[in-house]
């Protein structure tokens, strides 16, 4: 009798942190304001084609129900939904005729110092992130890759991606290798938009 072998594909989760110093010429509030606008963050995604806001209640229930990631007790912090369209290459290097547009939902929730995001991409890929602006005085002792001993403001991204174990090496490599450049590009766009401001020393936030 022929044996039937069931192949079970397990999901894996990959987490990473990206830290980029904010130049002294860019006010931290300008970075938070840019994150709250959502569009600048969407625009720097490498495969992005377009996006548009959709009613949150049109999302599937399994996508909407994510109280573990999105905060529920923050005033005026509704979760905003978008239909995201990305263009992927079916055959790399042969031109636009071998590409395909994929659509999937993305969600954003503004926080006092940044924004939380989540996207449910095709193939069971779920990406959850948080982008925040914070001050470091150089004395912190942790595993986050800040510039050693540097005091100032930083743009920090904490992201986790969940997908099948088979896809994980490629997905994780693409995320790790591209996101630092994306954050630097975001800061460059803020600098270009606001013009050249005086290069001021970093000012720590008021203590509680």
> pTM of the prediction?
0.80
The Cβ of residue 205 has, within 10 Å, a number of other Cβ atoms equal to: 11
The answer as to whether 187 is a domain residue is: yes
CA distances from 187 to 38, 40, 44, 146, 168 (A): 14, 10, 11, 17, 29
Neighbours of 134 (CB within 10 A): 15
Q: Is residue 208 part of a domain?
A: no
Residue range 31-40: mean pLDDT, rounded: 96
Decide if 202 is inside a domain.
Answer: no
Predicted confidence (pLDDT) per residue in 5-29, tens digit: 444 557 888 888 888 999 988 999 9
The strand pair at 152-164 and 125-136 is best described as: antiparallel
- If residue 190 lies in a helix (H) or strand (E), which one and from where to where? helix 168-194
pLDDT tops 60 at residue 173: yes
We report the CATH number of the domain holding residue 178 as: 3.30.530.20
Is residue 141, in this structure, part of any structural domain at all? Answer: yes
Tell me the two tokens of residue 4: 């039937």
Task: Tell which wins on pLDDT, 56 or 73.
Answer: 56
In a domain, 66, yes or no: yes
Count: domains in the chain = 1
DSSP codes of every residue in 145-182? -PPTT--EEEEEEEEEEEEETTTHHHHHHHHHHHHHHH
The parent domain of residue 160 ranges over: 11-194
Q: Give the pLDDT confidence of 57-79 residue by residue, as tens digits.
A: 888 887 777 677 887 656 556 88
User: What is the C-alpha separation between 14 and 25, in angstroms, rounded?
Assistant: 34
Looking at the chain, the whole-number percentage of residues with pLDDT higher than 90 is 33
Average pLDDT over residues 97-115: 86
Let me know: does 99 contact 88? Beta carbons within 8 Å: yes
- Domain-located, residue 3: no
Q: How far is residue 139's CA from residue 180's CA, in Å, rounded to a whole number?
A: 23
Q: What is the pLDDT of residue 7?
A: 47
**What stretch of H or E contains 1?**
none
- The answer to the question of residue 19 being in a domain is yes
Q: What pLDDT score was predicted for residue 2?
A: 52
pLDDT value, residue 42: 93
- Say if 206 falls within a structural domain: no
């Amino acid at each position: 009798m022929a044996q039937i072998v069931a192949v079970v594909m397990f999901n894996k989760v990959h987490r990473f942190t990206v830290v980029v110093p904010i130049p002294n010429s860019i006010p931290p509030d300008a970075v938070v304001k840019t994150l709250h606008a959502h569009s600048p963050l969407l625009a720097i995604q490498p495969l992005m084609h377009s996006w548009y806001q959709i009613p949150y209640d049109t999302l599937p229930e399994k996508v909407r129900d994510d109280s573990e990631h999105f905060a529920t007790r923050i005033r005026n912090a509704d979760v905003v939904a978008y239909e995201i369209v990305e263009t992927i290459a079916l055959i790399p290097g042969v031109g636009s005729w071998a590409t395909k547009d994929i659509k999937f939902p993305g969600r954003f929730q503004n926080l006092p110092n940044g924004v939380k995001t989540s996207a449910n991409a095709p193939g069971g890929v779920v990406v959850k992130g948080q982008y925040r602006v914070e001050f470091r005085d150089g004395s912190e002792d942790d595993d986050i890759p800040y510039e050693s001993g540097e005091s100032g403001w930083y743009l920090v991204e904490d992201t986790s991606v969940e997908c099948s174990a088979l896809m994980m090496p490629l997905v994780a490599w693409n995320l790790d290798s591209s996101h630092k450049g994306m954050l630097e590009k975001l800061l460059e766009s803020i600098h270009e938009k606001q013009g050249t401001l005086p290069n001021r020393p970093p000012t720590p936030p008021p203590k509680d």
